[in-house]
Structure 1
Amino acid sequence: MRAVVIQAPGQLDVTTRPDPVAGPEDVIVKVRAVGLCGTDVHMLAGEFGPTVYPVVPGHEFSGEIVEVGRSVSGLAVGDRVAADPAIYCGSCHFCAIGRGNLCESWRTIGITQDGAAAEYVKVPAANIHRLPEDLDLDHAPLIEPLSTIVHGIDVVAPAVGDHFLIYGAGTMGLLYLQTALRNGAASVSVVDLNADRLAVASRLGADRTATSADALPRVGKGWEVVVDCTGAVPAIEDAFTRVRRGGTFQQFGCAPDQDVAKFSPFRIYNDEIRIVGSMAILHSYGRAVDLLGQGWIDCDTMITHRFGLDGYQEALDTFSKGSGRKIQIVPGLTGDR
């Protein structure tokens, strides 16, 4: 099969690899589409510590089962599917307390083992989710990023009527916006330096948008929930100052693993600011399947570019320039559309 391979930091090839073979508890999926993610950019740059090189990237994907392992039941060749890419050991302390996303032996398809930026991908059957018949396979790769949003909101545990401020109107910020609006937020404001992205945020329901939070009318003396979806230190440091007393700051965006941000410890103490992270997926993938199937997300607005495997580097460049929203790799596609 043809596949994209990140051989080492800074080294990307589109090459031929042996077709994957299903183990007893695996299935083989013929990939329909795979979403590009900021994590993929960090992996190529050598900025995402868990990456195991060489690796085929791609952890947001959909497709059709073409092979089923001999011990697998309940799945069949021809099933339309997507998959939770996270693989947990099931026996460490964190798995034992139901926090598998912090697993001490955490593995993920497309990061620590070969992913879906290829014609075929091997997936543990336990991670497979069959798709509703009316859910477009081209839209289904959005389930994975949406499932991280669902977990993020689980972690924040907002009250109905909370006011949200989101930094970043890229894919994750826009998904967070749409989900928060459906989850009882009184308002959602969005900050981004890119005016075109802000226009999309407004179209998707943002109450207010601005290139700086200074231009937004503050709700009281800040916002109950402030979420960074950029991973950029200047945005993170500014976002923290916007949290209302007693409010919550969430670090959702993935920053390079060596970056450091500065906060006021006194303010955390004096204003009882809660700071929370949100790492990937936890008991949220199946819910994301349902939410996408029920139309919570405007998929056509979210997906802006599609490239074939040979266009992977161009897709990364397009992503890094901020000129698209969700960018997909379609193995069966020649050129781009």
Structure 2
Amino acid sequence: MTGELPMRFRDDALPPRVRIHEVGPRDGLQNEPSRVPVAVKAEFIHRLADAGLTTIEATSFVRPDLVPQLADAAELMPLLGDLGERGVRLPVLVPNERGLERALALGVREVAVFASVTESFARANLNRTVDESLTLFEPVVSRALRAEVPVRGYLSMCFGDPWEGRVPADRVVRVALRLLELGCAELSLGDTIGVATPGHVASLLSALKDAGIPATKLAVHFHDTYGQALSNTLTALRHGVTTVDASAGGLGGCPFAKSATGNLATEDLLWMLQGLGIDTGVDLRRLAATSDWLAAHLGRPSPSRTVRALSHKES
């Protein structure tokens, strides 16, 4: 794929480097209407690594009847062994101790748990209250740490909830502090239904800082429902966040929150970051070509504006 790259204008108020936590193979493909063959998933992840992504969330060890698109997790992970040898991080989502057992048996070296900030989503996603879900995660995190496997904590519905509306910052702070107490090494703040705006992001990050949670412990995970994902990300960068979740081609949503639309596209994020002179180590053209390739397998164009623009210029 050919096409120009963005003009660079460095802003010294922003971090010089950002780590992209690629979630397309898990958070992207879990929302597809049909299952993607495991061989295609493995090639997708290899292509992402070849484009320079060093953290790629590979899959989830959830019940197959809940997320059938990821039912092949045990088949997929052995196909990715060479990437671990190359230093590519391949975290997986585990919902409970059974999921962790399955992941550890396959040699997984990083895991994540998925918490909710709101009671309504905790019920919809885990059929538990917020406190019950945190209690469920306690032995999961403890056992992972004993196995020297770091744990990431996802916080969903950090800004708005389809049932409860606006989410107060103190609820996010409470769950964030609890996950850190359990031993999570990093927290990803999720705008699950994409309703956040830059002012809301700044307010929440300030509240977390005031509670003693440094930006170095945080990542942001924005959905682009109202076209705010990039502006929200830029706001987070100005507040010291240096890890951003994104999905190649803008794939994804949430099977437990039907109003959730696609994730921030990794290519759109890269276009902005490169224009700001921020290093990521990722080759934009190779990544866009990968999303084009996957879109052909899925039978529809990529929703990423950058992928479409670069593809148009090539043709």
Normalized against structure 1, the TM-score is what? 0.29
Could you say which structure has the larger radius of gyration?
1
Q: Which has the higher helix share?
A: 2
Relative contact order, CA 8 A, sep 6+: which one is greater? 2
More strand by share: 1
